[in-house]
Amino acid sequence: MPGLVFAGSSEFAVPTLEALARPPWTLAAVLTQPDRPAGRRRRRTPTPVRACAEALGLTVLTPASLKAPEALEALVGLSPGALVVVDYGLILPPAILSLPAAGCINGHASLLPRWRGAAPIQHAVLAGDAETGVSIMRLEAGLDTGPVYRMQSTSIGKLETAGELRTRLAGMCAALLVDTLPDILAGELTPTPQDAAAATWAGKLAPEEGRLDWAGPAGHLARRVLAFSPRPGAWTGWRGGRLRLLRATALPERAGEPGRVWRAGPEGIDVAAGEGSVRVLELQAAGGRVLDAGAFLRGRPLLDERFG
């Protein structure tokens, strides 16, 4: 097998890196984003990919931009057969896209052309999609617009959070990439162009978008909770602070004005919405642990309280 360069940054990319670090593959180097401040103390922290690559004894490159001449020179010196990209987060300039003999191969967490962009998993959950999956595509100058080699689909669970789905898709992406790469490198697989007219966009979700407006329909609110779980987090005002909601489902019935807790028990905390109710199943008070509804209600009588 020809030598590869891997580019990735987040925990989603780690299973693919681990798979490519094993025979018969040879990784000449790993590209990842530079260390950045993280956590409450804002300490500079390596990406999950860098931490994994260094633990595996691999060469790690952390250019702030791939447009810098030294970044291109480093890649030219590696002469990769292909550049494998999974959730890297930096734009690849044309000079790098055309560098590897087999091109730049990307693992993307959606069934392209649906949900191009930075947050395909969250948008699939938010939209109420019944299924999603992973696509192996050839990168080109447009964002997630390249032709697709293979796809694999999976159903989205009714109570599955974006975080849980992300973990499943990360494993699927690694397996499908490893299965597809030999055919790509051998020139035996022709990618299929995407239907641009069917494309949808999945922009990054901001923390402020996690605030729940209880006047909305329960189905949309419950999906927002699942889509924002665990990050950046769905939340509502409560007792002068914020209450994070991490798992919920929608119910057809309701009682009282939007935001009112009209039923509460071990099975869930039912909050009236504009249409129907949201049954909150997992939640977290400021400074507290994530608890299921029954555990949260111990010592916290919520009946008739208002959220929002």
* Residue 189 located in a structural domain: yes
Mean pLDDT (whole number) for 270-298: 97
Select the more confidently predicted residue: 26 or 37. 26
Global pTM reads 0.96
Mean pLDDT computed over every residue of the chain: 96
Query: Is residue 96 located within the same domain as residue 142?
Result: yes
Taking the CA of residue 305 as centre, how many other CA atoms within 13 Å lie in the half-sphere pointing to its CB? 16
Query: Is residue 167 located within the same domain as residue 229?
Result: no
Query: Is residue 180 located within the same domain as residue 264?
Result: no
- Is residue 1 scored above 90 in pLDDT? no
* Residue 30 located in a structural domain: yes
CATH number of the domain enclosing 91: 3.40.50.170
* Residue 304 located in a structural domain: no
Strands 82-86 and 4-8: parallel
Whole-number Å distance between alpha carbons of 106 and 99: 15
* Residue 133 located in a structural domain: yes
Radius of gyration of the chain from Cα atoms? Answer: 22
Query: Is residue 194 located within the same domain as residue 213?
Result: no
Query: Is residue 194 located within the same domain as residue 214?
Result: no
Query: Is residue 26 located within the same domain as residue 131?
Result: yes
The number of residues in the chain equals 308
Side chain identity at residue 49, one-letter code? V
Query: Is residue 111 located within the same domain as residue 159?
Result: yes
Supply the DSSP string of 196-264, one letter for each residue.
GGG--B-PPPPGGGGB--TTSBHHHHHHHHHHTTTTT-EEEEETTEEEEEEEEEEES---SSTTBEEEE
Query: Is residue 142 located within the same domain as residue 215?
Result: no
CATH number of the domain enclosing 287: 3.10.25.10
pLDDT band at 271 (very low <50, low <70, confident <90, very high): very high
CB 114 within 8 A of CB 199: yes
Residues 6 or more apart in contact with residue 273 via CB below 8 angstroms? 214, 215, 216, 217, 218, 221, 250, 254, 258
Residues 6 or more apart in contact with residue 6 via CB below 8 angstroms? 13, 16, 17, 20, 27, 29, 30, 31, 49, 83, 84, 85, 86
Q: Which of 155, 180, 198 is the last residue of a domain?
A: 198
Query: Is residue 28 located within the same domain as residue 95?
Result: yes
- Is residue 38 scored above 80 in pLDDT? no
Query: Is residue 185 located within the same domain as residue 78?
Result: yes
Q: Range of 223's domain?
A: 207-297
Query: Is residue 117 located within the same domain as residue 140?
Result: yes
Query: Is residue 169 located within the same domain as residue 62?
Result: yes
Task: Please list the alpha-helical segments (H only) found in 79-217.
Answer: 94-97, 120-126, 162-185
DSSP state for residue 113 in the 8-state scheme? T
